[in-house]
Structure 1
Amino acid sequence: MIESKHRATSDPEARKDVLKRIKGEKVEYVLFWFTDLEGHLKSFAITPGEIESALDDGMGFDGSSITGFNAIEESDMVAIPDPNTFRLMPSRPGESIVGRMICDIVRPDGTPFEGDPRFMLRKALERMQSMGFDTFNIGPELEYFLFKDNTGTETLDEGGYFAMTALDAATELRNETIQALESVGIPIEYHHHEVAPSQHEIDMRYAPALEMADATITYRLIVKEVAAKNGVYATFMPKPLFGENGSGMHTHMSLFTDGRNAFFDGDDEYNLSATGKAFIAGLLR
């Protein structure tokens, strides 16, 4: 049994707002999400009756079976839900009303767990701020394939890059996916068929790094769930088809200070500031 210590550090008003929403929306279950050290999404569900104490103190769990977490002799971990990440999950008529919050992982004494990817990103952002920057924007382009089922690689179409509806069998499925993504607060810029048969891309609008990290794990799950509900299988596997383009995740990055792009210098031959050049060098190193 993990002792209660009121471990939450979130805004009390934000916690109250979540409680009101859960009651007002008649939420039946709330999913607590976090990722392991390899980026795999993990989840467990709690009932509304447990939410208030969970928001204040977190929910204990056994971390010994989570990749990159603690060994069994020190397996007690605590998931602290971030109330700012509360969303209603997309659902169809007749399905349960389910909410979700993304969690930070701490030890029983309330100290952050160093193996929590969300904590690692927070530390990197703290370092960014110590260097004089205030915003790190990320804009990823996630590509994925749709197959007829999960037993093979039979494609839905033979379309190519920017294929029109006649060669793009999943236009409506992408439209449904976008509706689901935007319903959980993820703004979408555009979508299209990609280069390979049955390959697709839905582009999220750029956002600050932590917000985008949360959006990316949500995106991946929603793409898979919408596909499954339509009887097909979605995969982000890098190279499922021999001889065809693989899937990637091109990532646009920018640093800002007081609304100014720290990578831009109009007087430079390449319009790149010294900061921008150093950033590129760091990526190439």
Structure 2
Amino acid sequence: MMSPLHRRRMEDMMAKYTRQDILDLIEEEDVKFIRLQFTDIAGNLKNMATTVDQIDKILGGRCRFNCAAVDGFRGVGYEELFLVPDLDTFVTFPWRPQNGKVARFICDIVKPDGTPFKGSSRYILKKVIAEAEQMGYTLDVGIKHEFFLFDLDENGEPTNQSSERGGYFDIGPSDGGENTRRDMVLYLADMGIEVESSYHSDEAAQHALEMAHDNAL
């Protein structure tokens, strides 16, 4: 569950986290691990994990990584790039242990001299948003997630088989995934992500979550 401070911030979207807010949240929510996330040029989510003992280094944008093995980052003239956290993306993972929580920041990427790395997809998105604003537009997105839920075998391992035969907008017992979707929606709500609707989709074992429209960044 969100702490009172975190919930107040999520309710007031105009508010911005400060460094002290982050330090207070880390103490209040008993955060022990922090993941620094970014996306590669193909949109794949990447991350590095560190402990809360490194928080001064994290907030100072001094966490570096070897970019040579990241798709789209090779051959840029630098062996290392730096991750600069967007403080307003701080959130704890509600599905992780609640004693010694795991939190995350979404990060910008900068070069050793502190200037933006132009191969960062987040940097490119920021440029597009700014260009749209200059034209009088606001760039919002509404994402629809479609996915399948399959059975586990006798050893608890995933399979590519499903015993359910639900169809579009069906309910239980035909819809075998309603409890799983409920858990997903509640976890996302705890992270400040609004889900407008969830339902069984067309095919057997196919499900959908429709997110509320929000700023693209």
Category of TM-score, reference length = shorter chain: 0.7 to 0.9
Q: For 1:110 and 1:93, how far apart are their aligned partners in 2?
A: 35
Greater than 6 Å deviation, 4+ residue runs: none
Unaligned runs of 5+ residues in structure 1 are 1-10, 211-285
Contact 1:91 1:97 in 2 (8 A): no
Contact 2:17 2:88 in 1 (8 A): no
SS of 1:111 mapped into structure 2: coil
Quote the sequence identity (%): 34
CA deviation profile, 1:132-170 (whole Å, cap 9, x unmatched)? 33x222112111111225765202411110011121111
Q: Aligned match of 2:147 in 144, 148, 154?
A: 144
Contact 2:36 2:47 in 1 (8 A): yes
CA deviation profile, 1:184-227 (whole Å, cap 9, x unmatched)? 000111110000110101111110111xxxxxxxxxxxxxxxxx
Q: For 1:46 and 1:197, how far apart are their aligned partners in 2?
A: 40
Contact 1:58 1:81 in 2 (8 A): no
Question: Which one has a bigger Cα radius of gyration?
Answer: 1
Q: For 2:53 and 2:30, how far apart are their aligned partners in 1?
A: 12
Would you say 1:104 and 2:111 are equivalent positions? no
CA deviation profile, 1:25-59 (whole Å, cap 9, x unmatched)? 11010111111111111111111121122212231
- TM-score w.r.t. length of structure 2: 0.85
Q: For 1:13 and 1:84, how far apart are their aligned partners in 2?
A: 5
SS of 1:30 mapped into structure 2: strand
CA deviation profile, 1:54-83 (whole Å, cap 9, x unmatched)? 212231110011111133862211111111
Please name the residue that 1:14 is paired with. Answer: 18
- TM-score w.r.t. length of structure 1: 0.65
Written as runs of structure 1 = structure 2, the 5 A alignment for 1:1-285 is 14-71=18-75, 74-91=78-95, 96-133=100-137, 135-149=138-152, 152-210=159-217
Alpha-carbon spacing, 1:36–1:163, altered in 2? closer, same or farther (3 Å): same
Q: For 2:91 and 2:16, how far apart are their aligned partners in 1?
A: 18
Unaligned runs of 5+ residues in structure 2 are 1-14
Q: For 1:205 and 1:137, how far apart are their aligned partners in 2?
A: 10
Give the partner amino acid of 1:204.
Answer: M
Contact 1:30 1:47 in 2 (8 A): yes
CA-atom RMSD in angstroms: 2.1
Alpha-carbon spacing, 1:13–1:86, altered in 2? closer, same or farther (3 Å): closer
Q: For 1:189 and 1:175, how far apart are their aligned partners in 2?
A: 12
Q: For 2:206 and 2:72, how far apart are their aligned partners in 1?
A: 32
SS of 2:139 mapped into structure 1: strand
Q: For 2:135 and 2:103, how far apart are their aligned partners in 1?
A: 37
SS of 1:190 mapped into structure 2: strand
Q: For 1:95 and 1:65, how far apart are their aligned partners in 2?
A: 34
Larger fraction in helix: 1
Give the partner amino acid of 1:192.
Answer: Y
Give the partner amino acid of 2:72.
Answer: G
Contact 2:96 2:102 in 1 (8 A): no
Give the partner amino acid of 1:195.
Answer: D
Contact 2:33 2:101 in 1 (8 A): yes
